[in-house]
Chain A
Amino acid sequence: MTPKVDIEAMRRTNERFEPFCEMISVVPDEDHEFTFSAKDNLCAKGFQARAGSRILEGYRPPFDATPIWKMRAAGGLLLGKTNMDEFGFGTFSTNSGYGIPKNPFDPTRACGGSSGGAACAAALLPGHVALGVSTGGSISCPSSFCGVIGMTPTYGRVSRYGLIDYGNSLDKVGLISRSISDIERFLPVISGSDPKDPTSCCQPRLDLSKVRKGPMAVPKECLEGLTPDVARTFDDAVQTLKEGGTEVDVVSMPSLKYAMPAYYVLATTEASTNLARYCGMRFGVAEREYAQHFNDFFSKTRSESFGDEAKRRILLGTFCRMVGFRDKYYLKALSVRQGITKEYLDVFKDHSMVLSPTMPFIAPKFDEIASMRPLEMYSADFLTIPPNLTGLPHISLPCGYHSGMPIGMQAVAPHWEEGTLIDLGKRWGTTFAYKVPEACQ
């Protein structure tokens, strides 16, 4: 069965909401079973892969990222590449070089980031599944802001071959969709060992029928710093869960306060090495003024073509691994990550999952974002960072609405236990009524 693709409707949607940075212009003749999109940092033959960055202008990867190859092999038609913060550096997809996606529920508000275009497409296009990527919350955050379901699998569950690196020890390819059954259907498609990515080769087989039982844990540290509407909506959701027979305990996870700094140290140190290759040679922006000394040649390209946040994170990451600072920041962050993982594992001894709101506020308006300082933006990720830092699978589910804007909750399971999260999503779907943006009807 070939689902109908309405290119004109997609174009109209894109003019208004800008989920895509690149789209197909004609529907190919070949049969396909479903349609999907991919975040722009996933390489796909036939499309540019620019990861939202001007420095990758013109890069046409000669290969498919493994998750894209698998989706295509399963009968998927790739509709296009979705907008994102440059290299994943952002919480609102406003650091995008190719268009800023607008929130499907209110175009004056952001979609969240960095997989903002992916969540936007999933919310607006009928029967659509989007491949997203999360490093520190980039699937959960936009899913929460756009009122869709975001599944971030365990680190290493889905091959990263063909994913343009941000933080190699943190990056995870996942799925965003309006429907939990799509997530259940496509997670097995994209998962599995891939000899082209060693970090995917040490995983146990995905078994979605394996479901953990037991009470859920809500860390009290995750209830601080929320806006009242998020706090109230989350409370109501917990109440609904309890009424449905799920036990919910409030626990304490004091080490969560170290997650934000540890994450930013590791993510930016890794990013600063990954981004060293962008220099005006070989791929992307071509400098071509070869008569310059190589230092000038590289510095010129990098200064002209990296965006503001990319520069900030390169500086931060370079600093954190330099002689004299490396032990204090980089090595310390590695060891802190172990400590946080251990704390999660302790909680999982008597709890099936850890639950919290996904974001501390609803999708902000673009003018509110413009006045935020970098540290404020970094801090907004404090709920999504801990599972991302520790490679734990998590899902963001819409759990309520405030002023017409969606609010999400995030459940975290032990490594490799994605089945428990999908089971929660299915159960939640039977009691909770998801809203569809007006623009979609």
Chain B
Amino acid sequence: MRIGLEVHLQLPTRSKLFCSCPTNGDAPNTSVCPTCLGLPGSKPVLNRKALELGIMIAKFLDCRINDRIWFSRKTYFYPDLPKHFQITQYESPVGNDGHYEHEGKRIGIWRVHIEEDPGRIKRVGRSGEEVSLIDYNRSGIPLVEIVTAPDLESPEQARAFIDQLVTELRYLVGINVQDETSVRVDANLSIGEERVEVKNVQGLKNLERALRYEATRQTKVLDAGKRIVRETRRYDEERKITLPAREKEFEEDYGYIGEPDLGEYHIGQWARETVLKETPFARAERMSAELDIPRQTARQVVLTSGSLADLLEKLCKEVPSEKALQWLLGPISSNWGALEKVIDADGGACVIDIVKADASGSITDSEAKIRLQKCAGVKSEGTPACASNPDMISMVNSFLDAHPEVVKDLRNNAKAANSVIGHVMKETKGQYSSKDIVECVKKEISKRV
């Protein structure tokens, strides 16, 4: 099975691609101007930020950046398209021939280009007599289109690929995918010789379903000894099936021509000077290899927080990675809420010292933990035995006084302690570990029995 994708994502700009209208228009047609309404006499002017983000994405996907680029008019008639041509890129996208590593597989990226979104249509009226109502707030919203080679091998992989890509781009350029349905994909899938395109699928869940359905359908056709017809289909979200796109009167002929209103852009130098942030998956890959830790663990750390990943890298320079991970995933993670600020401030020096001391055997395990809490600013000075901390004891006792049924339950059911633990943790904002609280509760209960 071969699957290729055309993924459309909104670029995070404050104004539209070719006009200054804000991108956050709310009520219909409140963020519109002569340009995005296509009024006669209006002209487009390109948003620098949108081009910059396009360059960053193309570069991130390891594309060859085209030094000289221009825009093209793709002409077709539809009520949501104000000029009846979409300004997009045809012969000269921002980037070509890139690739992206996904789960150890190299996915070819054919092109990355920038284009404007049409308006949004609402259908109203009785079925069969629906007219369209159009909101042009979306008209002119900048999109990036990423076209992959047919290198994906299953619907699940296609979905996971986009999921990962979107996560990466969120870190890289701040692409904001509020809900997964805002990703729009055209996918092509072939099992035999001919490929079938499924157009305009909204959201990753639908994409996976559409591709699964399509794979099953094509398999059945082939099993029946028939041939796959090369065609364009659409996904019916209600019925969860793909259908032939309603037979158009005839195929549109987009008749691409260059967009003379914008001229051309020389982006080679700009692209070379653009420095990209390391994205989470790329970082996880690198850390997994460099620090010799499992890929999944590396991802978990990186996706939790950039500074947690920084700390792991620093720790691994001082102690064996096994020891570093043991600390990082254990006490450091559980105290992360308090530790993060400290580490951002001192670059992790305090924590690194403790772990080093522990690794060298110069302090005991519990000493190390106490020092860590001290470092985190946890209120525990001079109270090595948490279970005998007077604050906690009084807190536990007042809770038990107020909830005699818990005391009763506790005699038969150890899980009843959960409510006490929850209460104490909430009151103390997680200063004490659950183990310590349980110990304290046990002690105080035993006093009452």
Residues of A within 8 A of B (CB): 42-43, 49, 51, 56, 59, 61-63, 65, 160-165, 168-169, 195-199, 202, 269-270, 272-273, 276-277, 279, 281-284, 290-291, 294-295, 298, 318, 321-323, 326, 330, 334
Q: Once bound together, how far apart are the Cα atoms of A283 and B45, in whole Å? A: 22
Choose one: A43, A276, A318; the contact of B41 (CB below 8 Å): A43
A interface footprint on B26-69 (CB within 8 Å = 1, 0 otherwise): 00000000100111111111100000000000000000000000
Contact A318 B34 (CB under 8 A): no
Q: Once bound together, how far apart are the Cα atoms of A284 and B41, in whole Å? A: 13
> In whole Å, how far is A50's beta carbon from the nearest beta carbon of chain B?
9
Determine whether B179 belongs to the interface, using a CB cutoff of 8 Å to chain A: no
> In the complex, what residue of chain A is closest to B261 when comparing beta carbons?
A168
Known: A273-B85, A273-B257, A318-B255. A164 touches B75 (CB 8 A): no
> In the complex, what residue of chain A is closest to B259 when comparing beta carbons?
A168
Q: Once bound together, how far apart are the Cα atoms of A288 and B132, in whole Å? A: 12
Q: Once bound together, how far apart are the Cα atoms of A202 and B75, in whole Å? A: 28
> In whole Å, how far is B430's beta carbon from the nearest beta carbon of chain A?
55
- Specify which chain B residues have a CB less than 8 angstroms from the CB of A163 in the assembled complex: 41
Known: A196-B45, A198-B263, A273-B85. A322 touches B255 (CB 8 A): yes
Contact A321 B84 (CB under 8 A): no
Q: Once bound together, how far apart are the Cα atoms of A241 and B214, in whole Å? A: 78
Contact B257 A197 (CB under 8 A): no
- Specify which chain B residues have a CB less than 8 angstroms from the CB of A269 in the assembled complex: 255, 257
Q: Once bound together, how far apart are the Cα atoms of A330 and B260, in whole Å? A: 13
> In the complex, what residue of chain B is closest to A156 when comparing beta carbons?
B263
Known: A322-B253, A326-B255. A160 touches B38 (CB 8 A): no
> In the complex, what residue of chain B is closest to A200 when comparing beta carbons?
B43
> In whole Å, how far is A328's beta carbon from the nearest beta carbon of chain B?
13
- Specify which chain A residues have a CB less than 8 angstroms from the CB of B40 in the assembled complex: 43, 49, 51, 56, 59, 61, 164-165, 277, 283-284
- Specify which chain B residues have a CB less than 8 angstroms from the CB of A162 in the assembled complex: 41
> In whole Å, how far is B90's beta carbon from the nearest beta carbon of chain A?
11
Q: Once bound together, how far apart are the Cα atoms of A15 and B132, in whole Å? A: 44
Determine whether B77 belongs to the interface, using a CB cutoff of 8 Å to chain A: yes
Determine whether B276 belongs to the interface, using a CB cutoff of 8 Å to chain A: no
Contact B41 A273 (CB under 8 A): no
Excluding A276-B77, A277-B40, A282-B38, 12 further A-B contacts by CB distance (< 8 Å) are A62-B34, A63-B41, A161-B42, A195-B45, A198-B45, A199-B263, A270-B257, A272-B75, A281-B79, A295-B77, A321-B75, A322-B253
What are 21 A-B interface contacts by the 8 Å CB criterion?
A49-B40, A51-B40, A62-B34, A161-B43, A164-B40, A168-B259, A196-B43, A198-B45, A202-B263, A270-B257, A270-B260, A273-B75, A273-B84, A277-B38, A277-B40, A281-B79, A283-B40, A321-B255, A321-B257, A322-B253, A326-B256
> In whole Å, how far is B395's beta carbon from the nearest beta carbon of chain A?
66
Q: Once bound together, how far apart are the Cα atoms of A387 and B82, in whole Å? A: 33
- Specify which chain B residues have a CB less than 8 angstroms from the CB of A161 in the assembled complex: 41-43
- Specify which chain B residues have a CB less than 8 angstroms from the CB of A282 in the assembled complex: 37-39, 82
Q: Once bound together, how far apart are the Cα atoms of A197 and B46, in whole Å? A: 10
- Specify which chain B residues have a CB less than 8 angstroms from the CB of A164 in the assembled complex: 40-41
Q: Once bound together, how far apart are the Cα atoms of A77 and B34, in whole Å? A: 25
- Specify which chain B residues have a CB less than 8 angstroms from the CB of A281 in the assembled complex: 79
- Specify which chain A residues have a CB less than 8 angstroms from the CB of B253 in the assembled complex: 322-323
Determine whether B193 belongs to the interface, using a CB cutoff of 8 Å to chain A: no
Q: Once bound together, how far apart are the Cα atoms of A198 and B265, in whole Å? A: 12
Determine whether B131 belongs to the interface, using a CB cutoff of 8 Å to chain A: yes
Contact B45 A61 (CB under 8 A): no
Contact A294 B41 (CB under 8 A): no
Q: Once bound together, how far apart are the Cα atoms of A326 and B91, in whole Å? A: 13
Known: A195-B45, A196-B45. A273 touches B82 (CB 8 A): no
Choose one: B44, B83, B260; the contact of A277 (CB below 8 Å): B83
Contact B84 A276 (CB under 8 A): yes
Q: Once bound together, how far apart are the Cα atoms of A272 and B76, in whole Å? A: 11
A interface footprint on B387-422 (CB within 8 Å = 1, 0 otherwise): 000000000000000000000000000000000000
> In the complex, what residue of chain A is closest to B136 when comparing beta carbons?
A282
A-B pairs under 8 A by CB, number: 104
> In whole Å, how far is B249's beta carbon from the nearest beta carbon of chain A?
7
Contact B260 A276 (CB under 8 A): no
Q: Once bound together, how far apart are the Cα atoms of A59 and B37, in whole Å? A: 14
> In the complex, what residue of chain A is closest to B74 when comparing beta carbons?
A273
Q: Please provide the 8 A-B residue pairs with the shortest distance between their CB atoms, ordered closest to farther.
A: A276-B84, A169-B260, A321-B255, A168-B260, A43-B41, A164-B40, A290-B131, A162-B41
Determine whether B247 belongs to the interface, using a CB cutoff of 8 Å to chain A: no
> In whole Å, how far is B100's beta carbon from the nearest beta carbon of chain A?
31
Contact A291 B77 (CB under 8 A): no
Q: Once bound together, how far apart are the Cα atoms of A199 and B40, in whole Å? A: 17
Q: Once bound together, how far apart are the Cα atoms of A269 and B78, in whole Å? A: 20
Determine whether B1 belongs to the interface, using a CB cutoff of 8 Å to chain A: no
> In whole Å, how far is B269's beta carbon from the nearest beta carbon of chain A?
18
Q: Once bound together, how far apart are the Cα atoms of A202 and B263, in whole Å? A: 10
Choose one: B73, B78, B129, B256; the contact of A294 (CB below 8 Å): B78
> In whole Å, how far is A285's beta carbon from the nearest beta carbon of chain B?
13
Among A51, A162, A169, A276, find the residue whose CB has the most chain B CB atoms closer than 10 A: A276
Q: Once bound together, how far apart are the Cα atoms of A138 and B7, in whole Å? A: 45
- Specify which chain A residues have a CB less than 8 angstroms from the CB of B261 in the assembled complex: 168, 197-199
Q: Once bound together, how far apart are the Cα atoms of A209 and B253, in whole Å? A: 50
Contact B83 A61 (CB under 8 A): no
Q: Once bound together, how far apart are the Cα atoms of A196 and B45, in whole Å? A: 7
Choose one: A160, A279, A291, A330; the contact of B43 (CB below 8 Å): A160
Contact B39 A61 (CB under 8 A): yes
Q: Once bound together, how far apart are the Cα atoms of A294 and B79, in whole Å? A: 7
Q: Once bound together, how far apart are the Cα atoms of A326 and B132, in whole Å? A: 33
- Specify which chain B residues have a CB less than 8 angstroms from the CB of A63 in the assembled complex: 34, 41
Interface residues of B in 340-363 (CB under 8 A from A): none
- Specify which chain A residues have a CB less than 8 angstroms from the CB of B37 in the assembled complex: 282
Contact A49 B263 (CB under 8 A): no
> In whole Å, how far is B82's beta carbon from the nearest beta carbon of chain A?
7
Determine whether B229 belongs to the interface, using a CB cutoff of 8 Å to chain A: no
Q: Once bound together, how far apart are the Cα atoms of A161 and B34, in whole Å? A: 11
Contact A298 B34 (CB under 8 A): no
Determine whether B262 belongs to the interface, using a CB cutoff of 8 Å to chain A: yes
Contact B43 A198 (CB under 8 A): yes
Contact A197 B43 (CB under 8 A): yes
Known: A65-B41, A276-B75, A283-B39. A295 touches B257 (CB 8 A): no
- Specify which chain A residues have a CB less than 8 angstroms from the CB of B73 in the assembled complex: 273
Contact A295 B249 (CB under 8 A): yes
A interface footprint on B86-120 (CB within 8 Å = 1, 0 otherwise): 00000000000000000000000000000000000
- Specify which chain A residues have a CB less than 8 angstroms from the CB of B263 in the assembled complex: 198-199, 202
A interface footprint on B250-278 (CB within 8 Å = 1, 0 otherwise): 00010111111111000000000000000
Q: Once bound together, how far apart are the Cα atoms of A169 and B259, in whole Å? A: 9
> In the complex, what residue of chain B is closest to A293 when comparing beta carbons?
B249
> In whole Å, how far is A193's beta carbon from the nearest beta carbon of chain B?
12
- Specify which chain A residues have a CB less than 8 angstroms from the CB of B78 in the assembled complex: 294
Q: Once bound together, how far apart are the Cα atoms of A36 and B253, in whole Å? A: 43
- Specify which chain A residues have a CB less than 8 angstroms from the CB of B38 in the assembled complex: 277, 282
Q: Once bound together, how far apart are the Cα atoms of A61 and B131, in whole Å? A: 27
